[in-house]
Structure 1
């Protein structure tokens, strides 16, 4: 028997929206890049980061946002909580991504998932 997905609630939307906003702030990802990563317009991303927009649980923006939060959590644990180091890693060329910067790679859905998997794999070694 299939489980039903939880009903969308304002509380869940608010929690993920706030988490995404905190991730963006800690990693210094602005509204243009957040919009590109989670698939919303730059104005919507700006409202999201300022707390006047909550993610829609039924859309791709929700799924992509959960993966970005997952990426942050994995990266944070790998760098021992050093946010400056996390920001540096995100914006530095990486041979694992063919010399591309992870911040650029995660602007594609497959790239976001690959970076999450990469970080999770390395975190498992720690």
Structure 2
């Protein structure tokens, strides 16, 4: 048997704000509407389906494996927003880049408090 993740729903207060935020930071195509959702498509045919929900929004973690050049560009966009970032998921190492596994990774919050991670090595 073979199983692959196809999509997941991301609960948010404002799907337009949250979906466009992710697409902008990661340099992805603009979100596309599908029914009541906005869809952000990733390169591996997985999508994040942003769906409005009433607060409180339970924080989730989403990790994105990206190339070195893409990391540089996404990290520059994160810094341009003057958004806090951390080297660890516990948010104990602010303004640092983690080099675990020989790559680079940072953690940051999206507009709904979901903890996002960008990494260059799995």
Normalised by the size of structure 2, how large is the TM-score?
0.28
Relative to total residues, which structure has the larger helix share, 1 or 2?
A: 1
Relative to total residues, which structure has the larger strand share, 1 or 2?
A: 2
